């Protein structure tokens, strides 16, 4: 029985130990236009050039099918978090979503679609008299899960913290 517990404990530690080794050099991307920031592993992800409207950044891993996008935009359609959540479910397909969480002003959906893992975190934030939508999206092959799970966790945690600090509701 003790041997089983030891083996189980070792198996649980392996993925956690592998993540930081693969993604050890974390940098912060700051978006001046919308005032958000997010941590990203610069030793894993390569930042693509800024889009013309400077609404965020896309990242990729050369030679691997890993895509990451972080962005924000004005909520010009004045959509509620419920409406955005419904759109995300329709886009990814309710049958493909294996994890969903919704709270006040945010949601997360994740699963597998077209043979790739997707993770999307969306948050509505208010600043001044305006409202905007922030989005973090990661798409990668299932075999990259051990590498990407710790990346997803830290990017989401730092992205949401950035928005909350910058734009309290009200």
The token pair that represents 35 in the structure block: 């005032």
Mean pLDDT of the chain: 83
CB 104 within 8 A of CB 164: no
For residue 14, give both structure tokens: 């392996």
Q: Tens of pLDDT along 48-75?
A: 998 999 899 999 998 899 999 999 999 9
Domain count, the chain: 1
Locate all alpha helices (DSSP H) within 79-144, ordered by sequence.
81-92
- In the block, tokens 């710790």 appear at 150
Query: Is it the case that residue 79 has pLDDT exceeding 90?
Result: yes
Give burial (CB, 10 Å; 0-12/13-18/19+) of 118.
Answer: buried
Domain of 126, in residue numbers:
2-166
Q: What angle do CA 57, 17, 114 make, to 5 degrees?
A: 50
CA 153 – CA 100 distance, rounded (Å): 15
Residue 19 predicted with pLDDT over 60: no
pTM of the model: 0.80
Where residue 132 sits, what CATH number does that domain have?
3.40.1000.10
Q: Residue 93 and residue 112: Cα distance in Å, rounded?
A: 10
Structural contact between residues 88 and 120, judged by C-beta atoms closer than 8 angstroms: yes
């Amino acid at each position: 029985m003790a041997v089983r517990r030891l083996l189980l404990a070792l198996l649980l530690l392996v993925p956690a130990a592998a993540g930081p080794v693969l993604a050890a050099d974390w940098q912060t991307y700051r978006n001046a236009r919308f005032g958000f920031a997010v941590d990203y592993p610069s030793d894993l992800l390569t930042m693509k050039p800024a889009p013309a409207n400077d609404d965020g950044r896309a990242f990729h891993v050369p030679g691997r099918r890993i895509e990451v996008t972080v962005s924000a935009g004005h909520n010009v359609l004045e959509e509620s978090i419920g409406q955005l959540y419904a759109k995300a479910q329709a886009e990814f397909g309710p049958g493909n979503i294996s994890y969903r969480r919704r709270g006040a002003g945010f949601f997360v959906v994740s699963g597998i679609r077209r043979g790739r893992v997707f993770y999307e975190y969306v948050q509505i934030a208010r600043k001044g008299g305006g409202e905007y939508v922030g989005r973090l999206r990661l798409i990668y092959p299932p075999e990259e899960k051990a590498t990407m799970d710790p990346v997803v966790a830290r990017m989401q945690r730092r992205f949401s913290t950035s928005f909350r600090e910058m734009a309290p509701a009200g």
